Copies of this chain bind each other. A is one copy, B any other.
Amino acid sequence: MDAAPPRRARNAAGDILDAAHRVVARDGAGRLTLDAVAREVGMTKGGVLYNFPSKTALLAAMLTRMLERFEVEAAEAAVAAAAAGHSAPTLRGMLEAVEKLDNDHPQLHLAIVAAGAEDPAALAPLRAMAARLQARILDETADGPGAMLACAAADGLIFQRLMDMPPADPALRAAVRARILAIADALEPRA
C-alpha cells in the first residue's frame, strides 16, 4: 500500500518470511513451526508472533508476498511484450515472471506448498489469480489449447523445482523455457 516505514531499520517481517521459506526448503512444509522460524531468524517465538499474530497469518503473508511479486513482474513484462508487438502479451508476461521469480527467489514458490499443507482452502488467492490470468490469456488468443499448453508447461517447471525433480541439466531446462516462449509467440491472436 504505502511506502515502507523508514522507521524500522531492519525489516523484521521480511526477514521472518525469508526464514520461513528457508525452513520449508530444508525441512519440509510439515516442519514449518513457529519455533523453527524463530530459531532460523534468530528471534524467539514471541517476536515472531508479534510480527504475525498467528501462524495462519504468517502463511497467508508468505503466499500474498509471492503472489504480489509475481503479479507485479507479470504485469510489467506483459506491458513490455504488448509494446514489442507480441501477440499474446499476458501469456508472455506470465512466462517471464515465472522465470524471473524462479531465478531471483527460488524458494518463493514454496509458499504454495507451505500454505496448502496447512489448509488447502488457504490457496484461494492463488486460484483466484490463476483464474484471472487464464481468462485474460484465453481472451488474447484464438488458440486456447495452445496457450494452456504453454501455461501447463510453465507450471510443470515450477512443480519440478518445488519437488527437486529432475531438471538435471540447467541447459536443458533453459531450452525448454525457450520452447515455451516460442509456442507463446507462435499463437495466433484472437481473430
Chain B, residue nearest A126 (CB): B163
Interface size of A in residues (CB-CB distance below 8 Å): 47
Residue A113 CB within 8 A of the other chain: yes
* Contact B117–A29 (Cβ < 8 Å): yes
Please pick, from B116, B163, B165, the residue contacting A163 in the complex, using a CB distance under 8 A: B116
Known A148-B175, A158-B159, A172-B148; judge A130-B165 contact (CB<8 A).
yes
**Residues on A close to B: CB < 8 A?**
25-31, 112-113, 116-120, 123, 126-127, 130-131, 134, 144-146, 148-149, 151-160, 163-166, 168, 172-173, 175-176, 178-180
Pick the contact of A166: B31, B118, B134, B173 (CB < 8 A): B134
A175 touches B29 (CB 8 A): no
Would B153 and A172 count as touching, CB distance under 8 A? Answer: no
When the two chains form their complex, are residues B120 and A117 in contact, meaning their CB atoms are under 8 A apart?
Answer: no
Q: Which residues of B contact A112 (CB under 8 A)?
A: 163
**How many copies are assembled?**
2
Least CB distance from A108 to B in Å reads 15
Q: Which residue of B lies closest to A178 (CB)?
A: B145
Q: Given that A116-B28, A130-B166 are contacting pairs, would A152 and B123 also be in contact in the complex, using a CB cutoff of 8 Å?
A: no
- Taking each of A149, A158, A164, which has the highest tally of chain B beta carbons within 10 Å of its own beta carbon? A149
Contacts of A113 in B (CB 8 A): 113, 116-117
| Cβ-closest 10 pairs across A and B | A156-B156, A152-B156, A155-B156, A145-B175, A159-B159, A30-B117, A153-B153, A29-B117, A117-B117, A152-B153
Additional A-B contacts beyond A112-B163, A153-B153 (4; CB < 8 A): A29-B117, A120-B164, A134-B166, A156-B158
**Chain B residues closer than 8 Å to A180, beta-carbon distance:** 149, 152
